[in-house]
Amino acid sequence: MVSAPEDEMDPRLTPLRRIVILCVIILATTLYGTTILVVSTILPQMRGAFSATADEISWVMTFNILATAIMTPTAGWLSARFGTRRVMVISLAGFTFSTFMCGYATSLEGIVFWRIMQGAFGAPTTPLAQSIMMASFPRRQHSMVLGIFGFGVVVGPIIGPPLGGHMSEMMTWRWAFYALVPVGIAATVGLWLALLPDDKKPRKAHLDWTGFLALSVAIGCVQLILSRGQRLDWYDSPEIMIETLIGLVAFWIFTAHSLTTKTPFLNPRHLLNRNYSLGILIVTIYGMLNFTPMVLLPPLLREFAGFPDSVIGFIIAGRGVGGSIGFLVAGFSSRIDPRLSMMVGFGMLFTAGIWLMNIDLNVTVGSLVANAFLQGLAIGACWVPLTLLTFANVKPEDMPETTAVYHLLRNLGSSFFISISVAEIVRSTSANYARLSEMVNPFNKILTLPEVIGSWDVETVAGLARVGNEINRQSAMIGYLNAFGMFTAACACTIPLILLMQRGPVASK
C-alpha cells in the first residue's frame, strides 16, 4: 500500500493508541464473523418457536446474506461521504442493536427483518476495519497487524456454531444472540474512544444510483440462486430461471454504465492495478476454500460416520488452533516474499484436499483433527500475504472502496462453492445409489459367497433395508469425495495466479 512513513503519520497515533485500536478492531471483526454461522445451529429451535416450515425458516439466513452482500460495496461511498470513524461506529452500534432485537423477536417476520438489519449494518465493518488498521500502522507493521486482523475475520465463523449450539442447549436459542450484545457494546464504545477524535473532512461523494441499484439487484439474484437453488432443484425451477435472467440483465447494466459514466459506483480503473486484479481473483478462490470443509464435514461425520456433536466440535476446533498459528507465522514469513508464503499456504491446502479425497467412513478422529489443523494453518498462511500483495499499490483514499470489493468477492466465492459442492453431493449420491443398488439382486452370484456377503442378509425385508442404508452411506461418501476433489482442484488454480503477481513495495521498510 502507498502509505506515509512512520514519522509522517498523525502524532495522535501513539503506540498505545494503536494497540487499543488493534484490540478493538479485532473484537469487532470477531463479533461480526461469529454471527455469520451462529444461526446455523439454532435454526431447528427457531423453526419450532415460530411454527415455520423449512422453506420459511431458511429466509432467516438467506435475507441476512442478501443484506450483507448488497451493503458491502457501499463501504467506500459511506466512508467518503460521512467519514470512516462515524460510519464504523454507527454500523457497529446498529449491528449490536439488531442482534439484541433478533433475540427479542416474537414472530418470523420480526426475526427476518432484524436479520436484514443485522446484515446491512454489519456489512461495512470488515472492509472499513481493514482500512482503518492499514491507515493507523506504518507499512513495516502491516504484515503483523493483518495477521492479527485475519484471525478475527476467519476464526470468528468457527466460534459461531459451537457458541450457538451451547447457548441453545443451556438456555434457549435467543441467548445465542443475547450473548453477543455485551461484546458489541464494548466494541462500539471502544471504537468511539480509541479512534482518532476527528476524521478527515468528509468530501461530497456522489452516489451513482444506477450503478448501485444495478449491482444490488445482480448480487441479490446471485445470492438467491445460491441459497435456494438446491432446494428448488436449480433450473427446473421457474424462480431460479427468472432470478438468473434478472441478474444477468442487471450485471450487464452495471458493467456498461460503469464503463461509460464519469463517476461510477465502483471505479473500474482499480482493475488496471495488476496485483489488485489478480488479488480479487485469488481471494474469490480463497473464499471458496475457507468455509467449505467446515460446512461439509459436520453432516458427513454426524449422519454417515456416526460421530457425536462434541467430537465434531473438537475437530473444528483443530482448524481454529491451526488458523491462530498460521496467522502469527504469516505475519513474519510475509516479510521475506509474500508470494512464497502464499505458495506454501495454498500448497498445504492442496495437501489437505488430497488427504480428504482419500478418507472413508472409518476415518479416525486423530486423522480429522490433524487435517483440520493443516487447513487452519494454510488459511492463516495465505491470508496475510494475499492481502499485502493485493493492496500493495492501492492509494489510501481508494482503500475503503477496494477493500469492500475484496471482501464482497470473498463472501460470494464462499456462497458459490458451498452451493455447487452440496449440489454435487446430492447429484452424486443419487446417481451412485442407483448404480450400486443394481448389484443387489438374486442374479448376482457374488452375493452367494459367504466371504462376500458376511453378516448381511438379502433374503428378508429388514436385511434389505440394512443393505439399502449401507449403500446410501457409501453413495454419499462418494459424493463427499467428489466435493473434496473440487476443493483440491480449486487450490491448484491459485498457483499460476500467484506467479503472475508482483512482489510490490510491501516488503520494503
Query: How far is Cα 394 from Cα 391, in angstroms, rounded to an integer?
Result: 5
Q: Which three cell numbers stand for residue 190?
A: 471502544
- Model confidence pLDDT, tens digit, residues 24-67: 888 777 777 777 667 766 777 777 778 777 667 777 777 777 78
Mean pLDDT confidence for 382-399: 81
- Model confidence pLDDT, tens digit, residues 58-109: 777 777 777 887 788 777 778 777 777 788 888 889 989 998 998 888 888 8
Residue 458: strand, helix, or coil: coil
- Model confidence pLDDT, tens digit, residues 300-324: 887 788 887 667 777 877 877 787 7
Residue 12 per-residue DSSP state: T
Check whether 488 has a pLDDT greater than 90.
yes
Kindly state the percentage of the chain with pLDDT values over 70: 83
Crossing angle (nearest 10°) for helices 399-437 and 274-290: 40
DSSP sequence for 174-234: THHHHTTHHHHHHHHHHHHHHS-SSPSPPP-PPP-HHHHHHHHHHHHHHHHHHHHTTTTTG
**Cβ-proximal residues to 114 (8 Å cutoff; 6+ apart), any chain:** 98, 101, 102, 105
| 267 exposure class (CB count in 10 Å sphere: 0-12, 13-18, 19+) | middle
Residue 255 · residue 365 · CB < 8 Å = no
Looking from the CA of 212 toward its CB, the CA atoms found within 13 Å total: 15
Residue with cell 482448524: 319
- Model confidence pLDDT, tens digit, residues 161-188: 666 666 666 777 788 888 888 888 888 8
Please name the helix (run of DSSP H) or strand (run of DSSP E) that holds residue 256, with its range, or none: helix 238-260
Check whether 128 has a pLDDT greater than 50.
yes
- Write down the pLDDT at residue 3: 46
Query: How far is Cα 446 from Cα 314, in angstroms, rounded to an integer?
Result: 41
Residue with cell 488479488: 279
Looking from the CA of 260 toward its CB, the CA atoms found within 13 Å total: 8
pLDDT band at 2, cuts 50/70/90?
Answer: very low
